[in-house]
Structure 1
Amino acid sequence: MTRSVWLKADDEVGDWEARKRRITAGLEAGVDWVLVDRSDVERVRELGEVDVAAFGGGDVHVMEAEEEGPSPDATVVGKDGEGDGTVDLPSDFSGSADLSALRADGAQGGYVRIFDESYEAFAEAVAEEAEYTLVVGEDWQIIPLENLIARIGEETTLVAGVRTAEEAATAYETLEIGADAVLLDTDDPGEIRRTVEARDAVERETLDLEYAEVTEIEQTGSADRVCIDTANMMDHDEGMLVGSMSRGLFFVHAETAESPYVASRPFRVNAGAVHAYLRVPGGETTYLSEVGSGTEVQIVDTDGNTREAVVGRAKIEKRPMFRVQAETEDGDRIETLLQNAETIKVHTREGRTAVTDLEPGDELLVYYEDTARHFGEAVEESIIEK
């Protein structure tokens, strides 16, 4: 499931200048959708690249008449209708103007404010017809959301109304399934940014790292070494996973540490030789030789938490190398080539350690999975790597 953030920016927010400030903050933070009134679609298009949803009336013919100028990516019914309580909710939902608009393909989304159980039931009816179902709780939020997640299934994209990043994180995790998206209603740029971060966090992998015992370390000749400079800063406990064998990847620290000879480069990982595998987002690997400007790579910390980074530059230079071999808890032997230099740090049980200080018996942090790879994808087949 891919999560998303919708930003509410209709006339309830204020005048255009207030709405513009909110939308601009959303664009800068990286929201996926902006929800506005139909009259603001062109203005939003001028501000930046983002998917635009627009409120439309419950009458299909009214919406057709409004479709002059740029069209939204999705039209949403429910505002000034049954969905928000402006029009009384009919006892027989089949006669709802909002549902009629959805059934006639006049709109893709339905907006429902949950005042009580009858509106919760109406949201279920909307979900049967709508590509996007936007639900906003009033006095209570979690229970209706739990009910809707349990009952709706995958026939619609469920968008839960929230006001904070904390509420967004809860919505994404409810019933261990979570809402597909959140509809954020706030003017606070920091809260918008934190909500986008909450979206990103729920999408990320957490890896089970383990320690492998160093069995051999030897100097080799020179090889073509890849140094990855990302467009993102890394923390002291972060790095990347690289290795000569795809099933066993070694944790290599970013160059965040100061030394008497070289300034820190917290955007850099000196990753290894061109043949080595590098773990990237999505559980795949790529060869270090294929990494270049614009490549998305995976940053990992020593607890196995991951995030994404964009490569700004990859430098390939001939350097003297070490061959490091280690044995996993399962008795499998894995290895990699790393540059022979004090600035290249791996992670042992004692903490950050220069590769030049490694000795047999030291235990290195690695990611191990007994799975073969074909073009970077995990496959079930027998492959021998030496």
Structure 2
Amino acid sequence: MSSTSAVSSSTKLTWLDIRSLGEARAAILQEALHHRVDAVVADDAADLADLPPTVTKVLFPQGKPLPDDFGTATVVIVDPAKHGVTPAELAVLHPDIEFGRFVEIIDAPTLEDACESSRTEKWSLLLFRDPTKIPLEIVIAAAAKATGSMITVAQDLEEAEILFGVLEHGSDGVMMAPRRVGDTAELKRVAEAGVPNLNLTELRVVETSHIGMGERACVDTTTHFAEDEGILVGSHSKGMILCVSETHPLPYMPTRPFRVNAGAIHSYTLGKDERTNYLSELKTGSKLTAVDVKGNTRLVSVGRVKIETRPLISIEAEAPNGQRVNLILQDDWHVRVLGPGGTVLNSTELKPGDTVLGYLPSEDRHVGYPINEFCLEK
């Protein structure tokens, strides 16, 4: 049997603005280099001179004239309205430097400038003065097929996290001025908060059995699942099966594409930061990893969890390497799992030889986090 492979999710860009840092600049810069921020932004070329080549050196002389010498800068951001020159004109004179455009969005004309910059420039640095994120949504949509990168100014960490997620795609990166040591580490964490895609494995069903009454958890999220998407659930942390949401039509009831009838309350599911959570401990606001049949992932939020007593069915499946995977579900034919290619399989109709999709984490778990240690589950 084959595995379905997937690539890792991309990481957002982090630009550290050091233009207004005071006495803490040295310590913050040291932290930034340790956590490998993508770029350091200064308004004086001299402030970039001693930085290592592992970080992109961005010169952004906002409110100042462009210097005659860009020093060691690898990227220069200009404001054509203030500097009187465009990135394209500068690129002809300095072919070894990348140039970008700064746009401050305050009204409809500057919003159109931002859309045009995002469509045409290699780098667009955008500052949105309006607290609503609708203008950013418009720019992201306008630049959907562009090859350049959009960096948005964030006032703080909370805004940075929002900017990364606007329209699901978010800004390519953010520029933020840290207020204290520790902010840079947190910014990198926020930038890398996307979950990695997974390698799903085809599992062969070897046995099903009706095991009587118990409590199962129905997980309602704040998102619509796709028809080939669900969450991973299993009795053991090293093996889970892909449970589909209620996106497929059922007699007697409407579809509920936000819901996964997930499994017995002892079951594990995959949450944020590759951590497992018991279904019984999920609550409003909990984060879950949604997975499709190709292994593509995204984080979704839990709206509520319904725990009710229902008859249960146990499904035992086997991986190509002989590893056993168990899933206990509500014993009802409308509760479903996914097979290869997005095949929808009713749990009560599964029989030995059927193929379902699953995931086999390689690490053991301690309080839900992956850890390399001996752990026997049975």
Equivalent of 2:274 in 276, 283, 299: 283
Number of equivalenced pairs:
260
Are 1:3 and 2:12 counterparts? Answer: yes
For residue 277 of structure 2, what is the amino acid of its counterpart? T
Tell me the residue number matched to 1:234: 225
Cα distance, 1:201–1:267 mapped onto 2, change above 3 Å: farther
Which of 143, 152, 162 lines up with 1:164 in the alignment? 143
What amino acid maps onto 1:347 in structure 2? L
Gaps of 5+ in 2: 1-9, 18-41, 45-58, 80-86, 100-115, 125-138, 155-165, 174-190
Q: Higher helix fraction: Structure 1 or Structure 2?
A: 1
Equivalent in 277, 285, 296 of residue 294 of structure 1: 285
SS in 1 for 2:235: strand
Structure 1 counterpart of 2:367, which letter? F
How many angstroms apart in 1 are the aligned matches of 2:71 and 2:334? Answer: 68
| Contact residue 165 and residue 198 of structure 1 kept, 8 A | no
Q: Distance in 1 between matches of 2:344 and 2:98?
A: 57
Deviation of 1:278 (Å): 0.6
Say which of 358, 363, 367 aligns to 1:366: 358
Distance between the aligned counterparts of 1:138 and 1:238, measured in 2? 32
Q: Are 2:207 and 1:207 aligned?
A: no
Hey, what does 1:217 align to over in structure 2? 208
CA contact (8 A) 1:4 1:182 kept: no
Which residue of structure 2 aligns with residue 331 of structure 1?
A: 322
Question: What is the TM-score when the length of structure 1 is the normalising length?
Answer: 0.57
In structure 1, the residue matched to 2:132 is none
Structure 1 gap ranges (5+): 7-32, 34-55, 59-75, 100-108, 124-135, 146-160, 173-178, 185-191
Show the counterpart of 1:379: 371
Say what the alpha-carbon RMSD is for the aligned residues: 4.1
- How far apart are the structure 1 equivalents of 2:245 and 2:237? 20
Which structure is higher in RCO with an 8 Å CA cutoff and minimum separation 6? 2
Deviation per residue, 1:147-206 (Å, 9 max, x gap) = xxxxxxxxxxxxxx9971333xx456xxxxxx8x4579xxxxxxx747528779994422
Q: Deviations over 1:66-105 (max 9, x none)?
A: xxxxxxxxxx9523434xxxx4x324759xxxx9xxxxxx
Cα deviation, residue 348, structure 1? 2.5
Q: Alpha-carbon deviation of 1:341?
A: 0.7
Q: Structure 1 residues 141, 246: CA separation in 2 closer, same or farther (over 3 Å shift)? A: same
What amino acid maps onto 2:170 in structure 1?
V
Counterpart residue identity of residue 275, structure 2? E
* Distance in 2 (alpha carbons) for counterparts of 1:275 and 1:253: 19
- TM-score, normalized by length of structure 2? 0.59
CA distance in 1, matches of 2:95, 2:63: 15
The residue type equivalent to 1:270 in the other structure is N
Q: How does 1:69-108 map to 2 (within 5 A)?
A: 78-82=61-65, 87=66, 89-91=67-69, 93=71
Q: Residue type of the partner of 1:361?
A: G
> How far has the Cα of 1:112 moved from its partner?
4.0
